[in-house]
Structures are given as C-alpha cells and as structure tokens.
C-alpha cells in the first residue's frame, strides 16, 4: 500500500501568496451566478461539479434558481433520442429568462454538445456556448467570448485530461454521498453507443489523487463514495521512473477501502469482459466495499451480443455471474437491458428473458433500442424491429424484472441490514431513509439517538418492489 506523496515547497512563497490573493480578489469581485442542470449518467453529474469548481475559481456563485442566474449550463446526455429531446424542450423554457436578461449566457455541455458541435448553435439560437467533456477548463475564456458578443465552441477531445487536480464543488449535496471520477472516456466500441465518440479515448486518473479526494471527503464528514468510470474494471494507471508501478482496479478499491472502515465504497460501471476475480476478492475482503455490482448484460443472446460488439458471449457472462455468486454470496446484481436491437428474433429475445430468470437481478435499467447517429450500428445495421414489437418485448422484461426485484426484496425480510442514513424519507419527516450494503433503499422511523451520516442496524419487517421497511435494533 502506497502512502500519499506530499510535494516539497519549491515555489517562492511570497509570489505564491500574492497570486492566491489576486485570485481570491478576482473571485470575490465577480458577482455573477451560475446555474447547472445535469441529465443522464452519474458521470455527467460529477462533471457538473468539476465545472462548478472551475468557475468558482473565477468568482461565479452557484444557484439552484435559474431565474436569477447570469450563466445557465445544461450538461447533456446523448445515449438515447428522448434524452436529447428533453434537453431541447428544457432550452425552450429558458427563452423567457433570456428575454428578461439579454446578457444571460446559455451553454450546452457534455455528450450532446460533443456530438452536434457547432451545429448546435445553428439549431438552437438561444445557445451561446457549446463545450465538450474534455474542454471544461476553457469555460472562463468561452464565457468571455460571449460577453464580447461572439458565440463560443470548444469540443476538442483529449487523450490526457482527467481533471485530477480539481476539487469538485459538491452540488445539491447531502454531505454524505459523493461521486469520485477515476477515469474518463471509453475504448469499447459497442455498436449502439455514442460514448467513445462523445467522451474520447479511455484514460485513468492517478490513484494518489483519487485517494486524496476520498480521504478529504471522509474528513469533511462524507461517508460514502462512488468511484465512477465508463468501464471501471479496465482502470489501469502506471507510474514512470526507475520502477514502474501499475495500479489496477482491484488495487484501487483496496487503497480507497483502507482510508477508513467507516467510508463506504461503491463503483459504477463494470464490464463483463473486464471484471476479474481479483476485484471480487477485494470486495469480499473489505466490509466497507459494498456487496453490489452493476453488470450490464444488454442481451442474453450471443449473436446479438456479437452484433452489439460487446466482446463477450452468453456463456462468458454467465461465468462472471457464477463467479460473483461464488466469491460474494450476498452480492446484489443489477444490469442494463436493450430490447429490440437490430434483427433480434423472438427466440433471441427469449434468451434475454431466460438470462433474467438465471440471474434474478435485484434491479435493471431497461430500454428499447434507439438508433444513434454516427454509431457503428447506425452505419452497419437496419433498425428493422417494428416499434410495437420493441414495446411488447420491453413490457415483458419490465414485468419480469418487477417480479425478481420483489423476490430479492422479500428475501431480506427478517434480516438485519447495516444502513447509512441519508436523510428523511420523501414521504414523511417521521421516517429516515438510507441504503443497505446491497444498495436497497431502507425506510425506518426517526429516532433521537441517530442522525444522517450515521450507520444503524435495521431489522427488515416488510418490503415493496423497491423499498425495504423496518426498525432500528441495537
């Protein structure tokens, strides 16, 4: 296990102090408010916190009310067509704010910005700034360009950018859970996915910077971190020097777990082709690494998986499920499923259903196939499954998953779950809510001797499809 390295003071302290004072004074005198709205995956929400930090250094104050903002950013998702349509609809709602405040800067960030680039400025006249995921450091300059009367675009992708030196501003935080980005981009060319084109090539962040961020979060009272990457299992960072030291994802999990046993560690997302037994043994070894794995299957049929370019087949996926069950017997497993992919037959759809029967997932994200411009599937295959067939298959797998979600929840009744209290239940301030080790939401009555940020043991008495309900026990 490596200790964190603290660099020597090699800069002139007076010059450094003067620079910090000037920076603080510039930030103090800005007086402009920033509003950020995020859509899509957890990575986008994490990126928004990076953006807030970059602009905070230039004196922007974040606000949760866009009507008082001087700058509005939407951090976008391109994974499905309806995700992009939601963004376009939201932009129309900002038109009134622009009329009231002609100096308002409206920007589109993230994957949709990267996919459409300068075309976005032509399609949405309201938009002033278009910025891709690797260009957030340039935002202050781009805002200056808009202030000078120009539209601004930066969608350059990078092979190096990880924002490792930036301490994110935690937006809408409960002070308990935090996202920590460990890598960016993706080298998997799944035929249905736009991510390699919108987020660039895969690169991993220095593990020491990750551990430092997690340790700082713990010292500030946070009790759960979720390590984020498009494919966390392919995390790999090598130091340079006389001796090359390589850190893989199993090593990184252990490094973060050792910060403190009261720091709960989660991660997302895993890839079936890369998840190793070493990762599973690390989860089993440390009680504070949660027994929960999100392992997207997408399809239960090997031919469809090949068309999707997932680089594993049905047998390999089952092998990984069996390994999880063997090494981490009490592990919850969730997944992603795409139904109605190009040329999928009824029998191939039934293999996806049978995979759900085999695994009995705790939870699943389920979608109809949505062709995305520029992807390999859009170029190579006809989107030839009728919409009504897609919908019928989706309805079937949703019903199947509801059955197994309830099955998994019912199996927890009578057990005692260690729960990290996150706050009041959405339905009542007489109940607290928090998540179990297996990522299930747990509801229980408020008590005098415990509060958010603390762990409690909850005896599960009943459940719904999505929630466990119980009472605190000693």
Answer yes or no: do 222 and 260 share one domain. Answer: yes
DSSP 232: G
Measured distance CA(42)–CA(37) in Å, rounded: 13
DSSP 160: S
Instruction: Give the CATH number, domain containing residue 422.
Output: 2.40.50.140
Answer yes or no: do 433 and 404 share one domain. Answer: no
Range of the structural domain that residue 211 is part of: 177-410
The 10s digit of each residue's pLDDT in 254-304 is 999 999 999 999 999 999 999 999 999 999 999 999 999 999 999 999 999
* Confidence band of 4 (pLDDT split at 50, 70, 90): very low
The 10s digit of each residue's pLDDT in 14-55 is 333 444 444 444 456 478 999 999 998 898 999 999 999 999
Answer yes or no: do 261 and 291 share one domain. Answer: yes
- Residue showing tokens 């589109």: 108
Measured distance CA(74)–CA(90) in Å, rounded: 9
Q: Which of 13-22, 213-222, 401-410 has the lowest mean pLDDT?
A: 13-22
Answer yes or no: do 312 and 448 share one domain. Answer: no
Quick one: angle between helices 249-257 and 277-285, nearest 10? 10
The yes-or-no verdict on residue 8 having pLDDT over 50 is: no
Of residues 38 and 448, the one with the higher pLDDT is 38
Measured distance CA(203)–CA(194) in Å, rounded: 17
Domain count, the chain: 3
The yes-or-no verdict on residue 2 having pLDDT over 80 is: no
Please check whether residue 460 is in contact with residue 412, taking contact to mean a CB–CB distance below 8 angstroms: yes
Answer yes or no: do 299 and 241 share one domain. Answer: yes
What is the structure's pLDDT at 353?
A: 98
What is the structure's pLDDT at 462?
A: 97
Can you give the pTM of this predicted structure?
A: 0.89
Q: Judge whether 6 lies within some domain.
A: no
DSSP assignment of 332-385 equals EEEEEEEES-TT--HHHHHHHHHHHHHH--SEEEEEE----TTSHHHHHS---S
What is the structure's pLDDT at 21?
A: 43
* Confidence band of 381 (pLDDT split at 50, 70, 90): very high
Q: Judge whether 160 lies within some domain.
A: no
Average pLDDT, the chain: 92
Answer yes or no: do 239 and 358 share one domain. Answer: yes
Instruction: Give the CATH number, domain containing residue 124.
Output: 3.40.50.12160
Mean pLDDT of 6-14: 33
The yes-or-no verdict on residue 197 having pLDDT over 80 is: yes
Burial 234-265 (b: 16+ CB within 10 A, else e): bbebeeeeeeeeebbbbbbbbbbbebeeebbb
What is the structure's pLDDT at 461?
A: 98
Please check whether residue 447 is in contact with residue 434, taking contact to mean a CB–CB distance below 8 angstroms: no
Mean pLDDT of 112-118: 92
The yes-or-no verdict on residue 1 having pLDDT over 50 is: no
Spatial CB neighbours of 394, under 8 Å, sequence gap ≥ 6: 339, 340, 366, 367, 368
Mean pLDDT of 428-443: 96
Measured distance CA(157)–CA(273) in Å, rounded: 26
Measured distance CA(104)–CA(126) in Å, rounded: 10
């Amino acid at each position: 296990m490596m200790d964190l390295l603290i660099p020597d003071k090699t800069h002139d302290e007076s010059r450094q102090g003067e620079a910090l004072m000037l920076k603080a004074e510039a930030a103090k005198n800005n007086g402009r408010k920033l509003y950020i709205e995020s859509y899509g995956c957890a990575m986008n929400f994490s990126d928004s916190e990076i953006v807030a930090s970059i602009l905070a250094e230039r004196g922007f104050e974040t606000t949760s009310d866009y009507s008082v903002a001087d700058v509005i950013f939407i951090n976008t998702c391109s994974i499905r067509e309806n995700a992009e349509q939601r963004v376009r609809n939201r932009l129309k709602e900002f038109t009134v704010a622009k009329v009231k405040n002609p100096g308002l800067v409206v920007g589109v960030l993230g994957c949709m910005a990267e996919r459409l680039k300068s075309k976005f400025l032509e399609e949405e006249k309201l938009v002033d700034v278009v910025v891709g995921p690797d260009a957030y450091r340039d935002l202050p300059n781009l805002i200056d360009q808009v202030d000078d009367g120009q539209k601004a675009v930066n969608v350059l992708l990078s092979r190096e950018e990880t924002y490792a030196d930036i301490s994110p501003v935690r937006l809408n935080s409960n002070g308990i859970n935090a996202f920590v980005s460990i890598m960016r981009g993706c080298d998997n060319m799944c035929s249905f996915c736009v991510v390699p084109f919108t987020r660039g090539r895969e690169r991993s962040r220095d593990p020491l910077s990750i551990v430092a961020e997690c340790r700082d979060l713990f010292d500030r009272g946070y009790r759960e971190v979720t390590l984020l990457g498009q494919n966390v299992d392919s995390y790999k960072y090598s130091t340079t020097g006389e001796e090359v030291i390589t850190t893989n994802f199993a090593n990184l999990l252990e490094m973060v777990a050792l910060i403190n046993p009261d720091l709960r560690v989660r991660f997302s997302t895993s890839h079936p082709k890369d998840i190793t037994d070493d990762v599973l043994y690390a989860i089993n070894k440390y009680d504070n690494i949660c027994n929960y794995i999100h392992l997207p299957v997408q399809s239960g049929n090997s031919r469809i998986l090949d068309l999707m370019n997932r680089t594993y087949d049905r047998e390999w996926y089952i092998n990984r499920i069996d390994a999880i069950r063997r090494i981490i017997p009490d592990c919850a497993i969730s997944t992603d499923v795409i139904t109605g992919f190009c040329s999928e037959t009824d029998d191939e759809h039934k293999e996806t259903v049978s995979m759900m029967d085999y695994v009995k997932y705790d939870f699943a994200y389920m979608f109809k196939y949505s062709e995305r411009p520029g992807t390999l599937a859009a170029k190579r295959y006809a989107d030839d499954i009728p919409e009504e067939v897609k919908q019928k298959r989706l309805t079937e797998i949703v019903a199947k998953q509801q059955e197994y979600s309830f099955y998994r929840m019912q199996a927890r009744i009578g057990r005692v779950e260690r729960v990290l209290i996150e706050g009041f239940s959405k339905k009542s301030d007489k109940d607290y809510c928090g998540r179990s080790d297996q990522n299930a939401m747990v509801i229980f009555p408020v008590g005098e001797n415990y509060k958010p940020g603390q762990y409690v043991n909850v005896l599960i008495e009943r459940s719904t499809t999505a929630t466990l309900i119980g009472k605190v026990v000693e």
